[in-house]
Amino acid sequence: MTIDRPAGTRVRYRVLWMAFLLAIITFLDRVCISIAAPFMMDDLGLTLVQMSLVFSAFTLAYSLFEVPSGWLGDVMGPRRVLTRIVLWWSVFTALTGAAQGYRSLLAIRFLFGAGEAGAFPNAVRSFSQWFPMRERGKANGVLFFGSRLGGALTAPLALALIQVWGWRTSFAAFGCVGVAWAVVWYRFYRDTPAEHPAVDAEELAWITQDGRAAERAGTPWASILASPNLYAICAMYFALGYGLYFYFTWLPTYLTRELGFSALTGGFFSMLPFLLAGAADLAGGWCTDRLAHTHGLKHARCTLGSLSFASCALLLLVSTGVASPVAKAVLLAVALASADFALSACWAVCLDVGARHAGVVTGFMNTSGNLGGLIGPLVVGVMVERWGSWTYPFYVTAGVYVMGAVAWLAIDPRKRIA
């Protein structure tokens, strides 16, 4: 039976709007330290190695606590868990401005990473209850468009605040934004649409057209850990994280020191990948939903994902063979957009196979992605320092994306883990 799109309430779009804002705030708070780093190093007397370890402390903690936080979302529901996550990370964002030296800063950023872990798994977990399968790709596209928009906005916003208030007060300001979001989320959100007083019968019928699994069931850890789907998903997302963190860490250095761009031009080309990736997130979300309706889940998730990753690998290789710095920068930006075209499918496939245990599955996936993000920048730094060339790291990154494209083909989104 075909259910017509409801003419009644649209509460699920308000849920999506809150998730979109969450994604922006997440990346504002996560990336602002990279903008403030030169000022912090001068004031606190930090070396480059010490600042690198501060960056890594966040990524390590974020990776370690992803699965526990995702599991809590399955057990307790995203309403309480996301409120706790955002309040926790907002407090430690503000406390970053109170750091007195290397050790205190290292501890604060580790605890910040531990607190932020689980934000995206729980946001996506909420989509499994508030959106039917045919809308989940688009919902994920909007969510991750917010993350890329946050990445693009952070540099100018953080610089403006630092110039007016200084780096310490700027962290306090960013922390206050998160606290405000958490208050609104807890007051507005409900873990199921049936609990929300503003949802009418038409919208509820639309949301639940695929049926609903029992909530807060016990977690079948043995089945989850024995699933080939889980390991293919983790391998696929490791590749995404490995490549993505180059743009978070080394891209500005590559643009200015290797390609010779000025600070202004380099800043533009640092933003361009995130702007293009945001557009790709929206387009990819629409495309995976459309393909799911017309060609089935296997093509909607796996074929789309594999082609996106393979295209990204090809673009990275091409960027090493052109002479023009502008062409290199544009190809790198389009490469990230190509990979991000599959981002909605990445998270939607976790809902497909994870069902009521989607928080755990997305937690495992995001842990793997952040481990890739931990390793990738280190590999780039070591290879550039040893061989004095950026070409070899791009070869390796392209190879990792090819591995990810193959891993996509090993996933079966029609087979639930438990």
Note the pLDDT tens digit of each residue in 173-225. 988 999 999 999 999 999 889 999 998 888 888 888 876 544 555 778 888 88
**For the chain, what are the domain ranges?**
7-216, 222-418
Mean pLDDT of 341-348: 90
pLDDT at 226: 87
Q: Does 1.10.357.10 match the CATH number of domain 7-216? A: no
**Residue with more model confidence, 155 or 11:** 11
Tell me: pLDDT of 50 over 70: yes
pLDDT at 2: 41
d(CA 141, CA 149): 12
Tell me: pLDDT of 82 over 50: yes
Query: DSSP alpha helices (H): ranges in 77-132?
Result: 78-96, 102-116, 119-130
Question: Of 29-33, 43-47, 101-105, 337-341, which has the strongest mean pLDDT?
Answer: 337-341
3-state SS, residue 414: coil
Tell me: pLDDT of 359 over 80: no
**62 CB neighbour count, 10 Å cutoff:** 28
pLDDT at 1: 34
d(CA 18, CA 230): 28
Q: Are 413 and 302 in contact (CB under 8 A)?
A: yes
pLDDT at 212: 57
**Residue with more model confidence, 216 or 418:** 418
What is the average pLDDT value for the chain, to the nearest integer? Answer: 86
d(CA 262, CA 304): 37
6 band by pLDDT with thresholds 50, 70 and 90? low
Mean pLDDT of 110-115: 89
* % of the chain exceeding 70 in pLDDT: 95
Question: Of 74-78, 231-235, 371-375, which has the strongest mean pLDDT?
Answer: 231-235
Tell me: pLDDT of 402 over 90: yes
3-state SS, residue 144: helix
Mean pLDDT of 334-355: 90
pLDDT at 3: 43
Q: Are 408 and 226 in contact (CB under 8 A)?
A: no
> Which class does domain 222-418 fall in?
mainly alpha
3-state SS, residue 249: helix
Q: Which long-range contacts (CB under 8 A, 24 or more apart) does 253-257 make?
A: 254/390, 255/329
Degrees, nearest 5: CA angle 17-205-291:
65
Residue showing tokens 């495309």: 287
Identical fold for domains 7-216 and 222-418, yes or no, is yes
pTM summary value: 0.77
